Amino acid sequence: MIRPAPGGVTLVLAAVLAGCSPSKTVAPEPKETPETALDADTSASNIVTVDVGDGVDPSYGATPMAERVATLGLLNKRNGVSRDIVLKPGKAARIGDVVVRLRACEQTAPWEQEHYTGAFVQVDVAGSDKNWRRVFSGWLFKERPALNVVQHPIYDVWVKSCAMTFPEGGPNSVAGTGLSNTGEAARSSAKKSPTPDAEAPEPTAPAIAADNATR
């Protein structure tokens, strides 16, 4: 009598069980719906460049970038001291061994549904070897500070404001109150038709008969 080896029985049994067990289908995880425009995917593959053409201002008359003023907050985590830094785009400020540079600042227009204030900031810190290293470069948002943060053990930077103006009433508004500067109704410059003379006498019967005779 031939006895099968125990190991062979184990392998055969495992193969049978593997063939009989149903395969599990892993369902894909549902993607979260972005809550706001800032939560949406902003990878390079999803960015579309739009040509607005010559003579079209995409900022709709807002303050030019070079004239905007941003206020940034800088915190030293070692001593807990914070200070405000006021910069225009293209300017930088050095405080000790940290340099904060502002590239741009922006805020949504008053007529937009959601309001955000952001700034493109670059932070350079000098190390113990006296070499400067860039520890952050990107957009920071006042209303969503956790969206992008300066990850550094000593310094933290955040956005407090971006001073800029927009045209009143929206990008497509046209002044049309119909009032002059004095508050009176503006008068039309079009030529008016002559008004009938109320005192002119009505034609008499002989005048009407004579007019008919000449026809």
Q: How far is CA 151 from CA 158, 193, 205, in A?
A: 12, 76, 104
Whole-number pLDDT of residue 28: 60
**44-87 pLDDT tens trace:** 454 455 454 554 444 567 899 999 999 999 999 999 999 999 99
pLDDT band at 19 (very low <50, low <70, confident <90, very high): low
Is 30 part of any domain?
no
In the β-sheet with 117-126, what is the strand arrangement from edge to edge? 92-95, 98-107, 117-126, 132-141
103/137 Cα distance (integer angstroms): 10
The structure tokens listed for 1 are 């009598």
Structural domain contains residue 184: no
How many domains does the chain contain in total? 1
The predicted-structure confidence for 132-185, as pLDDT tens digits, reads as follows 999 999 999 999 999 999 999 999 999 999 999 988 755 555 444 444 444 444
Has residue 190 been placed in a domain? no
Residue 201 is assigned to a structural domain of this protein: no
Range of the domain at 71: 65-163
Q: Is residue 145 part of a domain?
A: yes
Whether 212 maps to a domain, the answer reads no
Domain membership of residue 205 (yes or no) is no
pLDDT given at position 130: 87
